[in-house]
Amino acid sequence: MTQPLYTLDAVLTATGGRADGIKADAIRSISIDSREIGPDALFVAIKGDRFDGHDFVETALANGAAAALVSRGTGAGRITVPDALEGLVDLARAARARSRALIVGVTGSVGKTTTKEALRIVFEASGETHASIKSFNNHWGVPLMLARMPETAQFGVFEMGMNAPNEIRPLSQLVRPHIGIITTIAPAHLEKLGSIEAIARAKAEIFEGIEPGGTAVINADHPQIDLLLELARTAGINVVTFGFARGTDWQILDAETAGDRSFATVLNGDVSHALTIGVAGRHMLSNATAALAVASLVGVAPEIALRALAGFGPQPGRGQRIHLGSKDKPLLLIDESYNANTASMTAALDVFGSVSAPDGKKVVVLGDMLELGEAGPALHAGLADTVRSSGADQVYLVGANMARLAEALPKTLFSRHFTSVEQAMPELLAALAYGDAVMVKGSNGVGLSRLVAAIKDKFEQR
């Protein structure tokens, strides 16, 4: 049997908790979801925006949890601490303290999860790797992922997100990465941050947790690069740059996209590397180049990293291409439903411009880009030229802010504007046919993933 994640004594030492009637000595996994309890799991009863884990402690114990970390309630199977979330942070801190892994932290306005996944497959080709799942990148997601890191891991990759200032800093100081990546800076979360410069400064908080002698790997393809370089120098850390810009340490040249794959030459000093990835888009080549640069920093041979990246494909909700129906005349669904800001929207529409639908029409479904504050309406309207150049035959828009884009588009192109996914779904499903190519893109909160599921359900042949 594999080594347990923690002993009960280790959990009690890390959290200062008080145990009540716990029979198991080994903790093999940690969960905050009572429905996903594995054998000998520790259930952590954190309080979220919609649910309080304390309401599900009995369910978790009945489902096989070895113990529950709680801050209220009594009964067998509980480890009581003053605050369950802080108890989880204490476990994360203990996991980091005992680890000898090479740790990488990833942040940025766009491409965090994709870059994290690219790093994961590169590191997995070289040794035992632990990486964040999904987009668990906030004040509870990061400590949960860190607390789950096995002592035997050789590499750890952790995604860090934020909606406001002073949110990346504590996450980075908890993770203490040896390498910190900033994928790019773009207008996202303007509602709470107010300006692009403020976004850059918030992302640069990752520098404050990087271990002494560590390195920041920074995308240079944005106007805030000089600010980031200055902040990195102030923090006293090494810097490696990547991107399409001239003079970067890892420069992307001759980028091409063909079907579902992208190709480029990546120049590092006098050495060039032929990079191939199984996903379309210049932005995806940028994410993969960040992973290639990190691999070089930690001593992973270039041929190993390049071979791993050649098998790298799109993640669900982030450019995944799904062919529904027969091979002769499928409906091509491009799922970009997980997130959206102006940078990712522009990148996705550019990629869609290279897609053809010889047996049907090209359809774009765009949902609101959320958390843009007062700049939101203008930023939505500003997408008009990119939408026009995408080659779309029909455009469907969902959400209040998309009304501004509807006004900016020519009437010959614009199809319909809807206030919600539920309002849009019947007409959209009726408008699609086999042979069409449809891209669905919007912020997660708009709920376009429900439309993606409905398209799959209607057009997938069983």
Predicted local confidence at residue 241, as pLDDT: 98
The residue from 310, 344, 375 where one domain ends is 310
- Please check whether residue 218 lies inside any domain of the structure: yes
> What is the extent of the structural domain holding 328?
320-459
Residue 462 has pLDDT above 70, yes or no: no
Same domain for 119 and 72: no
Q: Which two tokens stand for residue 104?
A: 């990488």
Confidence of residue 1 (pLDDT cuts 50, 70, 90): low
Same domain for 182 and 78: no
The residue from 83, 116, 145 where one domain ends is 83
Predicted local confidence at residue 415, as pLDDT: 77
Residue pair 458/450 in contact by the 8 Å Cβ criterion: no
Same domain for 288 and 339: no
Q: Which position has the higher pLDDT, 1 or 257?
A: 257
The residue from 310, 328, 344 where one domain ends is 310
- Provide CB contacts within 8 A for 33, sequence distance 6+: none
CATH number of residue 70's parent domain:
3.40.1390.10
Summarised one tens digit per residue, pLDDT across range 170-179 is: 999 999 999 9
Rounded mean pLDDT, 449-458: 96
Residue 147 has pLDDT above 60, yes or no: yes
Helix/strand/coil percent split, the chain, to 5? 40, 25, 40
Summarised one tens digit per residue, pLDDT across range 184-217 is: 999 877 888 889 999 999 999 999 999 999 999 9
Predicted local confidence at residue 261, as pLDDT: 93
DSSP H or E stretch at residue 62: helix 57-62
Mean model confidence pLDDT for the chain: 94
How, if at all, do strands 179-182 and 155-159 pair? Answer: unpaired
Residue 251 has pLDDT above 90, yes or no: yes
- Residue closest to 156 by CA, chosen among 182, 177, 183: 177
Same domain for 279 and 150: yes
Same domain for 268 and 124: yes
Same domain for 381 and 327: yes
- Please check whether residue 90 lies inside any domain of the structure: no
Same domain for 388 and 295: no
Same domain for 387 and 260: no
Summarised one tens digit per residue, pLDDT across range 107-136 is: 999 999 999 999 999 999 999 999 999 889
- Please check whether residue 33 lies inside any domain of the structure: yes
Confidence of residue 433 (pLDDT cuts 50, 70, 90): very high
CATH number of residue 431's parent domain:
3.90.190.20
Summarised one tens digit per residue, pLDDT across range 373-418 is: 888 999 999 999 999 999 999 999 999 999 999 999 988 887 799 9
What's the total number of domains in the chain? 3
Same domain for 247 and 302: yes
Any idea of the CA torsion for 296, 307, 99, 209, to the nearest 10 degrees? 50
Residue 111, annotated ligand binder? yes
Summarised one tens digit per residue, pLDDT across range 54-109 is: 999 999 999 999 999 999 999 999 999 999 999 999 999 999 999 999 999 999 99
Same domain for 340 and 209: no
Same domain for 213 and 288: yes
**pTM to 2 decimals?**
0.90
- Please check whether residue 93 lies inside any domain of the structure: no
Predicted local confidence at residue 413, as pLDDT: 83
Residue 215, annotated ligand binder? no
DSSP H or E stretch at residue 262: strand 261-268
Residue 109, annotated ligand binder? yes
Q: Which position has the higher pLDDT, 331 or 315?
A: 331
The letter for the amino acid at 79 is I
DSSP per residue, 144-199: HHHHT--TT-SEEEEE---SSTTSHHHHHHHH--SEEEE----S-SHHHH-SHHHH
Residue carrying the six token digits 């009637």: 21
Same domain for 207 and 111: yes
Predicted local confidence at residue 188, as pLDDT: 79
Tell me the C-alpha distance between 275 and 253, whole Å. 10
Tell me the C-alpha distance between 194 and 452, whole Å. 32
- Please check whether residue 16 lies inside any domain of the structure: yes
Name the burial class of residue 311, with classes exposed (0-12), middle (13-18) and buried (19+) by CB atoms within 10 angstroms of its CB: exposed
Predicted local confidence at residue 49, as pLDDT: 80
- Please check whether residue 162 lies inside any domain of the structure: yes
Q: What percent of the chain clears pLDDT 90, i.e. is strictly above it?
A: 87
- Please check whether residue 159 lies inside any domain of the structure: yes
CATH number of residue 252's parent domain:
3.40.1190.10
Predicted local confidence at residue 414, as pLDDT: 74
